[in-house]
Amino acid sequence: MLDPISLLILDVDGVLSDGRIIYDSRGADVKAFHVLDGQGVKYWLRVGHQAAVLSGRASKTIRRRATEIGIRAVYTGAKDKLPVFEKILKRFRVGAESVCYVGDDLVDIPVMARAGFAVATPAAVAEVKRLAHYVTRAEGGAGAVRETIELILRYQGRWAEVTERYQDRLPDGLPAARCPWRDPR
């Protein structure tokens, strides 16, 4: 199930953000994103995988964040997500079995049912969780996307490609964990 996954499609509200939308005095919306998620997407792209954003809401904030983390395929204002999902598959020339989709609300259901690997956040509605192959431990906007990316890349044996550039510089003789009673992740 995880082997063929190469395209990550992300809902935004409640997945890349915590789901809250704050309006400033001029009516612009403000969302909070998590740096671990953004960095995770960058790692995902670095190993040669693809990513897209698929949001039911239209917002400049979404586009800006997506651009910042290297996602060029940004689809917003999608009231019906399934036709847009099909469009994204065509764009990247992959089948649904190669897609990991992360969602949290009813609008995500048709896409969750099609994606090769469907992921829900802990705060996702029951109907979405029921369709999920995996429910993250981390909440949306607080590491859920990062957790999903690490899970897939570890399973595919590609997480080391991400970590090696940092781990390479460790001094010799360092134990696997400095804190012996705690299991390192």
Binding site for Mg ion (CB under 5 A): 11, 13-14, 104-105
Minimum CB distance to Mg ion, residue 13 (Å): 4
| Strand 50-54, strand 117-120: pairing | unpaired
Minimum CB distance to Mg ion, residue 21 (Å): 11
Query: Is the CB of 78 or the CB of 153 nearer to Mg ion?
Result: 78
Query: Is the CB of 19 or the CB of 116 nearer to Mg ion?
Result: 19
Sheet arrangement for strand 50-54: 73-75, 50-54, 7-10, 99-103, 117-120, 134-135
124 burial level (CB within 10 Å; 0-12, 13-18, 19+): buried
Query: Is the CB of 13 or the CB of 150 nearer to Mg ion?
Result: 13
Minimum CB distance to Mg ion, residue 145 (Å): 12
What's the rounded Cα separation, in Å, for the pair 22 and 101? 25
Query: Is the CB of 133 or the CB of 154 nearer to Mg ion?
Result: 133
Minimum CB distance to Mg ion, residue 183 (Å): 32
Coil vs helix vs strand at 81: helix
Minimum CB distance to Mg ion, residue 11 (Å): 4
**Which residue is nearest to Mg ion, using beta carbons?**
14
Query: Is the CB of 18 or the CB of 105 nearer to Mg ion?
Result: 105
Distances from the Cα of 47 to the Cα of 41, 104, 144, 149, angstroms: 10, 26, 19, 11
What's the rounded Cα separation, in Å, for the pair 83 and 80? 7
Distances from the Cα of 74 to the Cα of 85, 132, 146, 171, angstroms: 11, 23, 19, 42
